[in-house]
Copies of this chain bind each other. A is one copy, B any other.
Amino acid sequence: MDKPNSFKIPNTKQKRIVIIGGGFAGITMAKKFAGQDVQVVLLDRHNYHTFQPLLYQVATAGLEPDSIAGPLRKLLENHKNIFFRMATVSRIDKEDSKVMSNVGELSFDYLIIAAGSKTNFFGQNEKFEKAFPLKQIPQALDFRSHILQNFEEAVLSSDEEKIERLMNIVIVGGGPTGVELAGALGELKKHVLPNDYPDLDFNRLNIYLVEGMDRLLGGMSEFADKKAQKYLKKFEVNVKLNTMVDSYDGEKVVFNNNETIPAATLLWGAGVMGNVIEGLSEQSVKNSRYKVDRYNLVEGTDNIYAVGDIALMETEDFPKGHPMLAPVAMQQGERLSKNILASLKGKEQKPFKYLDKGSMATVGRNKAVVDLPKNLHFGGFFAWFIWMFVHLISIVGFRNKIVILSNWIWNYFTYDRGTRLIIRPFVPKIKSQKDKT
């Protein structure tokens, strides 16, 4: 056996395509390759696919974590040419065409890097150690536990400064994540939490949404920005534009204008960067993404591709690369899988072209903004309905669709959130003098 293979994948005559990452791009491709005359090995460090657009609803107790995740093995069931292995790839060896991982090595004929993105603290990770990222399910769960735990602490405290700190939530980044999370928290403040905590004055709960630019939802229309700001105002979210965060120590947020806010919670939604893996040449990486041509081939390689968030495809329409969005990942995945199958049959490959079907964001109950191509924009209840419909049909698995729909109906009519559980040990973190008995 000359090919390295500690993954117990059968060595066949089929070309082996290794896909790193079971996100939107990865599962799109795995499904396309199913039943074709290729061998596909999908690697992921988790055993499930995460539907990231709804992470913020897990973080705000609106959905169970299980309902936005799809077990990868379930998704790939009944396809004999598709193999799943739970592994974290640590290095790519271009010369020998193999990947190294925490569970051994695996050779490939084609490698597709679909490793997605992670939170970007712009090189200041140590300054933001206490900030919450929101890219994975355990992070969403931890955020949920954290804010609920803070309210439990606030109920018990007589220290006014501490209560203020516990009741301030700062969200950094006015993109879809920040806006949707702020809206959902505004809804909790208005409709859910006051019933839960009669001893706590929720007028004291301040939700800040901080954005460096002079507008929200930078990737969307001006109409969407204006509407979102209006909606957030209704949910009593304090939007701070033209403002950046300098540092955060877990108790105090310092802004670039030297203003400070005491806050026990800071969520960082201000940027993402590609999960670049060691091994490929420095020239092939730019802004933490792999430089690819119109066929998603990584610069300087001939059998290594990158798709989705981690791919930097610079074109006339997108001189800074395509946006890091699920639709781009899915479309690139679809195009690339077709191209690989075509090339194996000696047929012509087609360059990728992004079809922008529009973008949208929701801002709490009954409120959303939608941008469609050709400058069509709208907001309000209808936009909110469209938003729900599109997310529901996009999420993987029939079971998840049912569960999420039922939860939404329940939450809507009862003004309730079912999943207000703190599932981590309760350790009051900062015990102030005044609280001692």
Contact = CB atoms under 8 A, between A and B. Distances in A.
Interface in A25-49: 45-48
A59 to B, nearest CB: 14
A73 B6 CA distance: 51
Contact of A420 (B74, B141, B149, B418): B74
A222 interface: no
Interface stretch (A13-21, A195-203, A309-317): A195-203
Copies in the complex: 2
A11 interface: no
A77 interface: yes
A137 B423 CA distance: 8
A255 B196 CA distance: 50
A428 interface: yes
A421 B69 contact: yes
Interface size class on chain A is 35 or more
Nearest to A399: B418
Contacts of A199: 8, 83
A20 to B, nearest CB: 15
Contacts of A422: 46-48, 86
Interface in A72-110: 73-74, 77-78, 80, 83, 85-88, 102-105
Contacts of A400: 418
A259 interface: no
A403 B419 CA distance: 12
A12 to B, nearest CB: 14
Given A46-B422, A148-B47, A437 B104 contact: yes
A249 interface: no
A48 B198 contact: no
Contacts of A402: 406, 410
A8 B155 contact: yes
B196 A102 contact: no
A4 interface: yes
9 contacts: A6-B156, A7-B156, A8-B155, A47-B152, A64-B65, A86-B152, A86-B422, A102-B428, A400-B418
Query: 3 nearest interchain CB pairs?
Result: A6-B437, A73-B196, A66-B419
Given A47-B422, A403-B418, 16 more contacts: A6-B156, A8-B155, A8-B158, A46-B426, A47-B148, A47-B421, A48-B422, A64-B65, A71-B420, A77-B196, A103-B435, A104-B156, A105-B437, A137-B421, A138-B424, A400-B418
